[in-house]
Amino acid sequence: MASTLGGFLAGFGLCLLLVGAALALVAGEVKVSREEVERLYNLTHSQPYVSSMNALATLGNYTDKLASVLSQLGLTSLSNALGSVGEAAAKMREVYYASERAYNAMPYVEKLPVIIAGTILLGLALLVAGLLKIRGSRKRPV
């Protein structure tokens, strides 16, 4: 029974150790991305970006109607170009909201190193406890 418990503890500890190591690799990438997320957030929430986004959305209502008229006149290449104005505004709005979500998630990402350290330490402790339990459960010759 003790060797089974020891095997479980050692296996679970090893799993936690591997998960912690994988999280440590991911955390390095996330830390580098923080500056990029802040830069993107500041860009997409700047006055020129918001003004351009709103202007494109307003123009998009008119250009869609104009594009259909141009298409009927046979000017399809110009019609397609004008038709993309509304789509551009929609994409700009998507980037605006995505950068906001990423920026708001950053405080939680800062807690990641503590979680990683705890996972690795707990994994090591369980691994050692399991190995000690297995070693202690072996029958000793008398």
**pLDDT digits over 97-126, tens only?**
999 998 998 888 778 888 888 888 888 888
pLDDT above 70: residue 1: no
Identity of residue 90: A
Express as a percent the part of the chain with pLDDT over 90.
19
Report yes or no: 83 and 32 within 8 Å, Cβ to Cβ: no
Q: Number of helices and strands (H, E) in the chain?
A: 4, 0
In the predicted structure, residue 139 carries a pLDDT above the cut 70: no
Split at pLDDT 50, 70, 90, the class of 14 is: confident
* Angle, helices 112-137/2-44, rounded to nearest 10 degrees: 170
Q: Tokens for 8, please give them.
A: 């479980």
Other Cβ atoms closer than 10 A to 86: 19
CB 70 within 8 A of CB 78: yes
